Amino acid sequence: MTVQYTKQMIDLLQVLRRRIKAEFDINIRFSSDDTIDEIHRLVRQTRDSTTRTKALQFLQLAGLNITERDLDKGSEPTTHTGRPEPFNNSETTLPAHTITTKTRIYRGRVVA
């Protein structure tokens, strides 16, 4: 869907691009033909109320007759997690290396 962007739409789109990038790690482009469809798809998955509000304003300015209730229909919670679990190194045992001679290094060179 190709739409002529107004100043208000561009401002909302800039805010939405940052918020969508932070939440979903997806880049939204102004020049893309499916920008509005992509925002409509992602706003159904977001858990952030500010993103939903801004996206709803943007979609209404784009000419879509859509309400908050329409966004809730069929939306399922996302399985996106913020960060992966940290690696637990305590379970893995590495063989202890025994150093028989001590090598001294000063300014990147071995000294005796």
Residue 57, in any domain of the structure: yes
Segment holding 7, helix H or strand E: helix 7-24
Counting the structural domains of the chain, the total is: 1
Q: Confirm whether 98 is domain-assigned.
A: no
> One digit per residue, pLDDT tens: the chain, 112 residues?
556 888 999 999 999 999 999 988 888 887 877 888 888 888 888 888 899 999 999 988 888 887 877 776 544 444 444 555 665 666 555 566 665 677 888 888 888 7
**What pLDDT was estimated at residue 81?**
45
What is the value of pTM for the model shown?
A: 0.58
Q: What is the pLDDT of residue 4?
A: 81
Q: For the residues of 28-39, what is the DSSP string, one character each?
A: --SS-TTHHHHH
Residue 43 contacts residue 53 (beta carbons within 8 Å): no
Instruction: Look up the domain containing 66 and give its range.
Output: 7-72
Which candidate, 44, 48, 59, 57, places its Cα nearest to that of 19?
48
41 in a domain, yes or no? yes
pLDDT, residue 43, reads 86
Query: Quick check: is 110 in a domain?
Result: no
Classify 40 as helix, strand or coil: helix
